[in-house]
Structure 1
Amino acid sequence: YSWPGWLQRVKAAGLIRSMSRKGCSPDNAACEGFFGRLKNEMYYCRNWAGTTVEGFTHELNSYIQWYNERRIKLSLRAMSPVEYRRHLGIAT
């Protein structure tokens, strides 16, 4: 992430880079876990040949919505994230 072309793109977009210390892998564990799961559950199991950018974006958005709202997770007492938040009284 120190490639000059990348740094120029980040600056041109007005973004602030957020990077952990070198060798501090736990900082990235949650993101890497999510993207690994996304690739295994949504990307690798399909043939994307002939898919448009718009079609791929739609599928990606659908997966992320399912992941955030409807997937059943054992660590949430076998509830979806939305059901669990409702159970705790922190979501409507």
Structure 2
Amino acid sequence: MELFYGRGWDDVGMGEFMKMLYAYLVWYRDKRCKSDLGYMSPMQYRRSLGLVA
């Protein structure tokens, strides 16, 4: 929803959409802070558990 809501997609080509989607997924996976994880990003949380180098 966050990526699609309130945006017109008529002027966006497939290549540009793929870049935007990839950037959003990287942000969602690596950078966004979650209160459930102690306000750490999912990647920071995994690192704190020793699950990711």
Q: Same fold (TM over 0.5)?
A: yes
Structure 2 residue runs of 5 or longer lacking an equivalent are none
Indicate the RMSD between aligned Cα atoms, in angstroms.
1.1
**Identity rate of aligned residues, in percent?**
38
Q: How does 1:9-28 map to 2 (within 5 A)?
A: none
In the TM superposition, residue 47 of structure 1 has moved relative to its aligned partner by: 1.7
Q: 1:17 maps to what in 2?
A: none
The alignment's TM-score, normalised by the length of structure 2, stands at: 0.85
Structure 1 runs of 4+ aligned residues shifted over 6 Å read none
Which has the larger helix fraction?
A: 1
Task: Please say if 1:72 is aligned against 2:40.
Answer: no
Paired residues in the alignment total: 53
Q: What amino acid maps onto 1:59 in structure 2?
A: M
The alignment's TM-score, normalised by the length of structure 1, stands at: 0.53
Q: Which has the larger radius of gyration?
A: 1
Which of structures 1 and 2 has the larger relative contact order (alpha carbons within 8 angstroms, sep 6+)?
A: 2
